Structures are given as C-alpha cells and as structure tokens.
A = this chain, B = another copy of it.
C-alpha cells in the first residue's frame, strides 16, 4: 500500500498516513493536484488530503479538486496537530530573527506569534518544507513551525512546544482511492450538489435529510466557476450510503437538484481522545486493503 500526500517528509499529512498502519509507504508530492495525479496514474494506491482544521477551517482547494476529479473518498483520519518551534542545533531562541511556516500553521499559533518582538513572520508553502530549508540551508537565525517529526527528519532541535492557540487543534484528512479501505462499515457519506437559483432552494434540499433524521456534520459552499453567485454545496451525512434511508434521501434530492454526485461513503478512523499523539498505537496494518 502506498499513499500519496502533499509536502515533505515530516508533514502532518504523512503523520496522518502513519496512523493507518506502520508499514504503509508514504509518497511525498509537490501539490494537492499531484496527489490526485499519483492515484490516477497508479503511482499510489491511495492519496490523503487535509480537508478541514478545527481552528483554521476548510481547505477549500481540496473541495474543488474532489469535484473536478473522479476518485472516491474511501476513508477519513483525524489528527491532533502539535506545533513545535524548530531551529538548527545550538541555536538559541534569542538568535531567531525570522519564523517560517505555512499560513494555516501561522494562523493556528497567533497568540504565540503576537507575543514576539522583532521577529519577522514569513509565510511559506509547507510546514515540513520550512524545516527542510533551515536544515539544508544551514540557517542559524531562522526557526520553523512544524511537527516534531520534521525536526528529526531534517536534523533540527525543538526550541518551544505547544505553540497552538487551542489544544483542540485537529485536522480532518480524507483518503481517496480506487479500492475501499477496510476501516469498517461506512457510517459517513459525502455528496456535492447544486440547486436551482431560486429563493428557498438550499432549505428545500436540506429537508430531505431532516425528514429522515439524517444528521449533517458539515456543509460547505464553493462557487460554480463562470456562474457568479451560484454555488456547489458539499454536505457530509452521518450515515452510510447503503442504508435505505440514505438512498431514499438522495433519490428525493435528485428529483430537485440540478446536479448531485456522491463523493464517497466511508468510515472515519478517529484518534482516541485521551491518548498522546506520539503514543497512540497505529491501526492494525492488515486493516488496510491492498
């Protein structure tokens, strides 16, 4: 099993892959588009995408890419994100004049960053990639906000821990692939639909689920390109697609929706809430199908 992810080794996406099994091969990719391409071209059996962070919100680019590609969602992983301040060995906190990280990570550590004087904050395109720049460039006045694993991968030291504003800083990742994962009987279904551009349309669409007591865990809207102020709606349902109630709700929605597609039906793998991230045992490797 090889799962493609965006970023450098030590990225949070890679850590999410490791939750699924110790013997899974993780394939680093330059961009989210490349993750889709790796699965489409067979270079990876699956891909992993951050879709939402509990503090920063949705990763909208990945919603767009899910609709543009035809690879189903087959699983979900949640990971508590612990941000560390990393620098070259021997560098002291006082030596730091610049801090590199991804804008999402910077936004999640706002309080820590606001407390710093005379330090320039530089947005980059990757957390682990920031650690790499420091390690490979031998930079001694720069620190990165990234994972502890990124420190090990690029030979850096941890200067500060627990940088995140909220302890409950959790990222949801979706797994996409051609073959289902055996995380268990699907209990979630993700759909994307559009409705006629008339008053009350969205409400009408949502009633098909409420009428059947199907809970919505997420509602996201994205523009329809080329049709100003019309939207695609992405909804996560707390029910598997094979349940008759779900099938009937989707059939009713199809009577009214202009477009409707099921992006996947799957089971979420959740990190036990009480365990420390580093000590959580990985899922049984055998539970991930080839």
Binding site for B on A (CB under 8 A): 52-58, 60, 123, 125, 165-166, 168, 170, 199-200, 202-203, 206-207, 210, 213-223, 225-229
User: In the complex, A141 Cα to B97 Cα: how many Å?
Assistant: 30
Q: Contact between A216 and B202 (Cβ–Cβ < 8 Å)? A: yes
Q: Contact between B228 and A170 (Cβ–Cβ < 8 Å)? A: yes
User: In the complex, A55 Cα to B57 Cα: how many Å?
Assistant: 20
Q: Which residues of B contact A215 (CB under 8 A)?
A: 199-200
Quote the shortest CB–CB distance from A253 to chain B (angstroms): 14
* Stoichiometry, copies per complex: 2
Q: Contact between B60 and A228 (Cβ–Cβ < 8 Å)? A: no
- Contact partner of A57 (CB less than 8 A), chosen from B57, B123, B199, B223, is B223
If A166-B226, A225-B165, A228-B54 touch, whether A206 touches B210 (CB-CB below 8 Å) is no
- Contact partner of A207 (CB less than 8 A), chosen from B165, B203, B221, B227, is B203
Q: Which residues of B contact A217 (CB under 8 A)?
A: 229
Q: List 17 A-B contacts (CB under 8 A).
A: A53-B223, A54-B223, A54-B227, A55-B226, A57-B60, A57-B222, A58-B60, A60-B60, A199-B210, A199-B213, A199-B214, A199-B216, A200-B210, A206-B206, A217-B229, A219-B221, A220-B221
Quote the shortest CB–CB distance from A191 to chain B (angstroms): 16
Q: Contact between A203 and B206 (Cβ–Cβ < 8 Å)? A: yes
Minimal Cβ-Cβ distance residue in B for A110: B225
If A125-B123, A221-B220 touch, whether A54 touches B229 (CB-CB below 8 Å) is yes
User: In the complex, A217 Cα to B223 Cα: how many Å?
Assistant: 12
User: In the complex, A225 Cα to B216 Cα: how many Å?
Assistant: 20
Q: Which residues of B contact A199 (CB under 8 A)?
A: 210, 213-216
Q: Contact between B210 and A55 (Cβ–Cβ < 8 Å)? A: no
Q: Which residues of B contact A58 (CB under 8 A)?
A: 60
Quote the shortest CB–CB distance from A3 to chain B (angstroms): 24
Quote the shortest CB–CB distance from A52 to chain B (angstroms): 8
If A168-B228, A202-B216, A206-B202 touch, whether A56 touches B223 (CB-CB below 8 Å) is yes
Sort A-B residue pairs by CB-CB distance and give the 5 closest, nearest first: A54-B228, A199-B215, A166-B226, A200-B210, A203-B206
